[in-house]
A and B are shown apart, each in its own frame.
Chain A
C-alpha cells in the first residue's frame, strides 16, 4: 500500500476547522466534560473532520485526471480547499527572509444545500463559503516574525477563486496567474499587504507539478481508506519580487528579494483521525536540486502514526515515495513560546539509511509561532548534512502542531 504525504493537509484542515469550530462555539459556555465530547480545541477540530460530519459533501475517492490550469482553480462540493505557498527569500543586500501565504476556502453547507442557496439567492451576500488567508514573514537577520490574516465570507470580487485557472483573492491578497497569461500553469504572482509588511512576488515553476499519493489521491489514514484528499505540489518555484517592512520610527523598508518557494494545493472533505495529537512537517529544498518532504504524525499515546510519510523529488522532477520506516526525525533542541505557553522543537536530525540521507535542520529564527486564534509553529529552517555521501546544504519550511 502506498502511504501518501498528508501532514500539511491535516494542519491546514485543522486550522480551518478550528476557525469554524471557534466561530460556532464563540462565547458559548464550556460544555460539560464528557468522555463523548472532545475536550480540547484540537479534539473538537478532529471530531469535526471525522467522516460522520462529512455527509453531503463530495469525497476524494477513486481516480481523477488532473488538468491544468483548471485544477489550479477551486473545486466545488468539497468542504475545504487551500492554496499554500511557503518560501525562503534573500534581499539584494543579503538579508534573509522566510514567508508563508495561504488561502483557505471552507464550505459551510453540503453542495445540495449550497446549490439551493445559489438558486434562491438574490444577493451576492448570500453564500455558503468562508475564506481565511494567512501571511507571515520571518525577518531572519533582524530576528522578527510578522503575521497577518484576513477573514471573509465569499463575495464576488472580495473573496473568491476562479474555477478554471489560478486566481484566488481575499480582499487585496491574491495568488493568480499573470495578467499577461491568465491560463498559465507554471507562472503565478502573489500579493499581500498589511500594517506591518507587504509582499509581491512572481513565481515560476522550475519543475513540473508533483501529484502526491496515489496519482493525486492522498489517503489520510492507514486505518480508514475513506479519508483522503486530492493533493498536488509544485516543489520548486523560482521567486522574485518586493518585500516591504514597516519601520515604526522611520520610513518603510522596501527590499528587492528573490529565492525559492513551494506550493501545495489540496481539496478534501474529511481529514483527521482523533487518535492523532499533532504533526511535524518538513519541506526542504536542497542546493543539489533535490527536494524532500516528510511529515511525522504524532499520536495521542506518543507513538508515530504509520501513515507518516514523505517524498523525494530529484533534480529532474522524478518522485520517490518515503515510507514512515524509511526515515527518522529526532528533535535536537527546543524553544519555549512564553506567550502561548508551548514548547516547540527548533532543531532536528532527519536520517534515512535507505536513501543515504543524514540532515540537520535548524530554525532560522526560534520565534516563528502563530499566536491568537490558532497556535502553531511554522517557519524557515536551514539545512546542512549528508546526501548520498556528499555534503549538502539547503533551506526549507517546517510546520509543528499539537504541542503543549
Chain B
C-alpha cells in the first residue's frame, strides 16, 4: 500500500518536474507572496528597533531622575549620600549649564561622570546607545585619565566644529567681569554627529564641569528603575531630594508611523496569503485533466488528496524558505537604499535589522505552507462531501457562501467600530472590510467583465474574444487579482493617509505658529523684566505671554496635563483651529460663554483635542482641576485641534485666572521675519549664560517638523512599492500560468486563422483588461482604507483629527502601477507564446506526458 502511494506521489512529481515552467511559476508565486510579508515585517521590526534606539539616544536610558526638591542643584554631599544609600542601583549624574563662546553665542555644556555612565550603560545589553553612551565611548577612546583629572577636554556637537580653531574652542570664563572677558581654551578631541546631539552643545566630564562652574554640585541623577523599585525608592531618598519619572517622550509622529506600518503588515500578510493561495490553486486546477484520468484508472479521492497535501507541504516549505531569504533581501535593499535618510532620522548607530528571529521564520512558514494548505482545503471539503464527485467545479453555492461571508464581515466591521472604541477593534475592522471586499471581488469582476464584453463586442472581434476569454479566466485568476487589487488599494490608501496627515500638520503649524519667534526658559519662569525689554525693542511689534502649569484632572494618569495661561495680542488670537465650541478670543465667546462661565463660577478654558478624547470631555462640561495644590472649576468652551505630544493641554486667559504668575514661562515674539537674526543677536548678548532661556524661530519649527515627518514616512512610501512590485510579479505569474494552460486553445485559434500577431494582441488585451478591472475595484477599496486609517485608526490611536485629502495624484499613481502590472504580465505571456509559436513541434499534453 505504501509502495503504491509512493508510486502515485512520484507520478505527481513527475508531472511537476516534466513541466518545469509550471513548477517555476508555482514556486515564484509562493516565494513572492512570502517575500512580501517578510519584507514588510522585517522592515517594520527594523524600524521599531531603531525607534527604540533613537528614543534611547535622545532621552538616555533613564526611566527616572532624582532632583532636589527646590529644583536647585544636588550638592556633592547629597550625591555622595545617595551613592551610599542606593548602592544597589546604578546612578548617573548629569550637569547642564551654559557658557558664552568668544563670539557671543551661548553654548550648552553637558557633563557626565564618565565612570558612572560606563557602569550604568552596561545594565542594558540591547546594543543600543544613549547620548551619554556615545560621549563615554568617544571619551574612552582617548586618554580617560586626563578626562577624570579635569583637563580641559571636550567633545562638541557637529555644528560647533566651524568654531574650533587648532583643536581649541574658546569660551568666556564664567568668572569674567562685565566688559572684561577672561578667555578659556577647551581642547576639542572629537565631535558628535549632527543627528545625535543637540546643537551648540559641548560634552565633558564632571571634573571639568566642576572646575568651570566652581561648584561640585550636579543637576540631577539618572536612574533606570523597575516599577517596583520606583515605588519603594522615595522612602530611601535622603532629605531634600525627590524622584521623578522621566517623560516617556513618546513621539506621536513615530507612533503614528509605527501604527501604519502595523496596518501595512496586516495588508501585506493578506496579500501574501492571496498570492500563495492563488498559485497553488492554479497548480491544482491545471492538473484537473490529469487527475480525472488517474481517477478513471482507479485512484481514490483520498489518495489524490494525500498526494496534494504532500505536494503543498513540500512546495510550501521550499517556497517559504526561498521567500524568507528573498523578503529579507528585499527589506535589506530598501533599508540600504534609504540608509542615509533613515540613519539621520533614527540613530547614530545606523539603521539595520537583526538576523531573522524564529518569529520571522514562523511567519514565512505560516504564509507559504499555511496558504498552500489553505488552497487544498476546498478539495478536502469536496472530498468529504462526496467521494464520487471527481471534477471540482466552481459552484453557485460556493459563490453564495462567499457573498454571505463578505456581508458578515462587513457587518462585523460596522459592529466592531460602533460597539468597541479600541484600536484593536479598528484594525480588526480594517482587516474585515478589506477581506469582505476581496471576497466580493469575483462577483464584481465578473460583473465588470460582462459589461466590458458587452461594450467590446460591438467594436472589434479580437476585443470581444479577449473579453470573453477574460470572463472564463476570472474564476481561476480571482485570488491573484485580489492580491493586485489589495496592492493597488494599499498604494492609494496609504498615500491618502500620508498626504492627509502631512496636510493637516502643515495647516496646524501655519495656524498655531503665529509669531516668528518663540522663547522659553526650560519650563521655568522667565527672568523678570525680560518681556518688557523685548517689548521696548524697536524691531519687536508685540509679545504674547504664556505660562504653563502642571494640572491634575480626575486621576493621576493625567499628571503631565498642563494648564496654559495665555495673554495673546491680536496677532495670536487666531492661533487655534476650533473643532467644537468657541475660541476664548472669539466674539461669540464674549457674548455667550463668558456669561455661562460666570454663572458656573468657573474659569472658561479651551481643551486640546487629544486631551478631550482621552478624558471624553465635551463643550460645556465643568471640570474640577488641581493646579499648584488648589482646586478650581473650569468650563470647557471649546475644543481645538492639537497635534502636540504629551498629556494634553487646557488653555485659559491669563486675566481670568486668579493669582496668575507674574512671569511667563514662554514668550511669543511678533516681529518681521527679516528681523529674526538681529533679534537672536540681541538676545545672545543680553542673556546671562547661567540662564536657560532659549529661542527658536517658527520657520525652524515648521521645517524641522516637516523634515522629520517626511523622513519618518519615507519607509512607508517605499514599502508600498514593495507590495505593488510583488503583486505585479504575482499577477504576471498567474497570467502566465493561465496562458500556458491555454496553449491548446491558442493553437486551435491559430489553425482557425488567428495570426501570431493577433494572438499577441489578444494576450495584451486580456492582460490590460485584467489590470483595468483590478484598478476599478482597487480605487474604492483604496479610499476606504485611506479613510479608515485617517479618520478611525489615527483618531483612536492618538486622538488626532485629520481631514482626509483625496488627491488625483493618488489614483493616477495607481493607474500607472496597474498598467505596468498588466503590461508586465502581458509581456511575459507574449514572450512565452512567441516561443511556442516558433516551436514547430507541438508540445505533448500534460496528461500525455503521464501516459507515455
Q: Which residues of A are at the interface with B, using a C-beta cutoff of 8 A? A: 20, 23-28, 108-109, 113, 117, 120-128, 130, 150-153, 155-158, 169, 171-173, 192-195, 372-373
Contacts and interface: CB of A to CB of B under 8 A. Distances in A.
A126 B144 contact: no
Interface of A is mostly: loop
A158 B77 CA distance: 10
B244 interface: no
B87 A193 contact: yes
B5 to A, nearest CB: 45
B88 A158 contact: no
Given A23-B118, A151-B115, A151-B118, A171 B84 contact: yes
A125 B210 contact: yes
Contacts of A124: 76, 210, 216
Given A26-B137, A117-B150, A153-B115, 11 more contacts: A27-B140, A122-B211, A123-B210, A123-B216, A125-B113, A152-B119, A156-B80, A169-B84, A172-B87, A172-B88, A173-B87
A126 B84 contact: no
A108 B84 contact: no
A348 to B, nearest CB: 33
A157 B150 contact: no
A171 B91 CA distance: 11
Listed from nearest, the 8 A-B pairs whose CB atoms lie closest are A123-B210, A172-B87, A108-B145, A171-B87, A157-B80, A126-B150, A26-B140, A125-B207
B148 A122 contact: no
A122 B149 contact: no
B116 interface: yes
Nearest to A133: B87
A130 B148 contact: yes
Nearest to A159: B83
Contacts of A195: 88
A68 to B, nearest CB: 27
A370 B618 CA distance: 60
B166 interface: no
Contacts of A126: 148-150, 207, 210-211
Contacts of A24: 140-141, 144
B148 A153 contact: yes
Given A26-B137, A26-B140, A26-B141, A121 B87 contact: no
B85 interface: yes
B298 interface: no
B327 to A, nearest CB: 32
Central interface residue in B80, B113, B122, by most chain A CB within 10 Å: B80
B150 A125 contact: yes
B214 A122 contact: yes
Nearest to B77: A157
Nearest to A172: B87
Contacts of B145: 108-109, 113, 128
Nearest to A116: B149
Contact of A108 (B144, B205, B211): B144
Nearest to B81: A157
12 contacts: A20-B144, A117-B150, A122-B211, A122-B214, A126-B149, A126-B210, A126-B211, A130-B115, A152-B116, A156-B80, A157-B77, A158-B83
Nearest to A124: B216
B119 A157 contact: no
Contact of A117 (B79, B85, B149): B149
B350 to A, nearest CB: 14
Nearest to B133: A27
A173 B150 CA distance: 26
Contacts of B149: 109, 113, 117, 121, 126-128
B206 interface: yes
A120 B122 CA distance: 32
B132 to A, nearest CB: 13
A125 B205 contact: yes
Interface of B: 76-77, 79-81, 83-88, 113-116, 118-119, 122, 136-137, 140-141, 144-145, 148-150, 205-207, 209-211, 214, 216
Contact of B141 (A28, A123, A152, A158): A28
Contacts of B76: 124
Contacts of A156: 80
A312 B174 CA distance: 63
Nearest to A109: B145
Nearest to A108: B145
Contacts of A153: 113-116, 148
Contact of B115 (A27, A152, A193): A152
B420 to A, nearest CB: 36
A131 to B, nearest CB: 9
A262 B144 CA distance: 34
Contacts of A173: 87
Given A27-B137, A151-B119, A125 B216 contact: yes
Nearest to A196: B88
Given A27-B137, A108-B144, A152-B116, A157 B84 contact: yes
A228 B86 CA distance: 38
Nearest to B138: A27
Nearest to A126: B150
A194 B148 contact: no
A242 B84 CA distance: 19
A241 B163 CA distance: 60
A155 B141 contact: no
Nearest to B205: A125
A232 B116 CA distance: 31
A150 B87 contact: yes
Contacts of A25: 140
Contacts of B85: 172
A27 B141 contact: yes
Contacts of A109: 145, 149
Nearest to B129: A27
Nearest to A28: B141
B150 A121 contact: yes
Contacts of B114: 153
B206 A125 contact: yes
Contacts of B116: 151-153
A193 B83 CA distance: 12
A10 B815 CA distance: 75
A125 B207 CA distance: 5
A25 B144 CA distance: 10
A150 B115 CA distance: 10
B329 to A, nearest CB: 27
A36 to B, nearest CB: 21
Nearest to B91: A171
A195 B226 CA distance: 12
Contacts of B136: 26
Contacts of B118: 23, 26, 151
Central interface residue in B137, B140, B149, B207, by most chain A CB within 10 Å: B149
Contacts of B211: 121-123, 126
Nearest to A150: B87
Nearest to A153: B115
B196 to A, nearest CB: 14
A113 B149 CA distance: 10
Contacts of A27: 137, 140-141
A27 B129 CA distance: 12
A120 B152 CA distance: 12
B291 to A, nearest CB: 53
Contacts of B119: 150-152
B87 A123 contact: no
